Structure 1
Amino acid sequence: MRSTTLRNITTRRTLATGLIGGAVLALAIPAMASAHVSVSPDELTAGDHGVLTFSFAHGCDNSPTTSLKVTMPEGLASVAPTMDSDWTIDIEKGDDGLVSAVTYTAVTPVPNELRGAVSMSVGLDEKTPSSLAFPVIQTCVDGSTEWTQLAQDGEDPHSLDAPAPVVEVAAAAADGHGEHDSADEAGDADDADSAAADESGASNALGTALGAGGLVAGVAALIVSVLAYRRKV
């Protein structure tokens, strides 16, 4: 009897340990996956322009971030950093007069648990390559991280330790309007409305299913209670 009790206690402890370990791992994996400097949007159209936002949600080994230096790739027709009261901006230019790098220095170091972001407007021309990599150096109160790695052919970018933010460049439309084509914008709006409607429908269906499940569970519990009571009587 004592042996059986000990085995039961051991089994419970092992199960509890496994559940705790799994929960910790589940929380750690998303944190590791998001630990990089990202760019949004990650796709633009050749000959067009857009605003790129570089964001991060961590420091260097938990040290607050003090600055981000973004180096410009070849193929950009123009670069205009966005003014922001949280950052001071230093612009470097090459011999051709074009912006070659932009350094954003935080007025107050960004704590590790807070998200930080900087942005800039960029212009593309018809000769812009199909992929633009923006190497970033993140400097912190203690240490720094160079987000400069690029995936080779066939290599998964997510496998890199410190990937550089990359923007893909789509070919311009035949009429030259790129992303500003009104028909495309109307289509995108319709798609967004349809997606919202689908999401709403799915949410309502889920709510109905959960409500029905709760009702069934309640009825089952009531039946079990009645049967138990009858046995006692």
Structure 2
Amino acid sequence: MKFQKTALAASALAAGTFLALVAPLAASAHIDIDPSSTAAGSHAVLSFALPHGCDGSPTTSISISIPESVVSVTPTVNPGWTVAKTSVDLAKPITDAEGNTISTRIGRVVYTAITPMEDGLRTTFDLSVPLPADAAGQTLEFPVLQTCATGSTAWDQHAVEGEAEPEHPAPSVAVTAAVAGGEQGHAAGATDAEATSAAAPGDDVLARVLGVGGLVVGAIGIVLAVTGRRTKRSV
């Protein structure tokens, strides 16, 4: 009887530890964006994190679609990858700050691996972009097509606030209010939580459930272990 209680307590503690470790891994399984700034009208470096391949298959290319409201993009060179930009026509020509008429924009940036990146490795792709001055309160989505040696994954599903996060959400940036004086960085009054939500809108329900489950199971294991010890002492 004592052995069974001890074994049960040990199993519960192990299960709790496992779930607590799995939860953050589930949350980081998507392609997320870490922005250097979220303020409307600022220039931001968007860092796209690629954490894995396609069901174990190595990644051969990453195609990032640029929102129409972002009129210019400067990709950062990534060692081991080539980079190409694809231009598309603007629905309506615009005039830049110097009075030049702009009729095209970068619609897609494609990174191609010189040697396919094996599953289990991680890398990032950085794009420098101007965040639209009139985009405060909006969420800009940057759909990504991840192509692998076998298969592909389209990270293009729209996340809806208050609903469960989709299986393959599009990486996005939640644009905050402009900073007075045109300063770079997060908008005045923006919290760290708001900045974090720019990289991953919506709640990762799976991660939260697993995390809470791990804590509950771990707590039960501790109670059983303590009860077992008290019973042993009283015998």
TM-score category by the smaller chain?
0.5 to 0.7
Other-structure match for 1:160: 166
The residue aligned with 1:4 is: none
* Structure 1 residues 105-184: aligned runs within 5 Å: 105-128=112-135, 130-155=138-163, 159-175=165-181, 177-179=182-184
The alignment-based identity, stated in percent, is 41
Which among 27, 48, 66 is matched to residue 72 of structure 1?
66
Q: Distance in 2 between matches of 1:82 and 1:145?
A: 23
- What count of residue pairs does the alignment treat as equivalent? 173
Distance 1:25 1:154, change over 3 A: closer
TM-score (norm 2): 0.65
Offset of residue 147 of structure 1: 1.2
Q: CA RMSD in A?
A: 2.4
TM value normalised by structure 1:
0.66
Give 1:42 deviation, angstroms: 7.0
Deviation at 1:120, TM superposition (A): 1.2
Q: Which residue of the partner structure matches residue 14 of structure 2?
A: 20
| Code of the aligned partner of 2:57 | S
The 8 Å contact of residues 131 and 168 in structure 1, kept in 2 or not, is answered as yes
Question: Unaligned regions of 5+ residues in structure 2, if any?
Answer: 91-103, 189-235
Larger Rg: 1
CA-to-partner distance for each residue in 1:128-175, whole Å, 9 max, x for gaps?
Answer: 46221101111222222211122224335xx32211111122232454
Task: Select the residue among 75, 85, 91 that pairs with 2:79.
Answer: 85
State the one-letter code of the partner of 1:90: A
The match for 1:98 is: 105
Kindly indicate which of the two structures has a greater share of residues assigned to helix. Answer: 1
Tell me which of the two structures has the higher relative contact order, counting C-alpha pairs closer than 8 angstroms and 6 or more residues apart. 2
Partners in 1 of 2:36 and 2:162 — Cα distance? 19
Answer with 32-41 or 119-128: which moved more.
119-128
Q: List per-residue Cα deviations over 1:1-44 (Å, max 9, x = no partner).
A: xxxxxx22222222222222222222222211110101111752
Paired with 1:57 and 1:79, the residues of 2 have a C-alpha distance of 23
Quote the offset at 1:118 in angstroms: 0.8
Secondary structure of residue in 2 paired with 1:10: helix
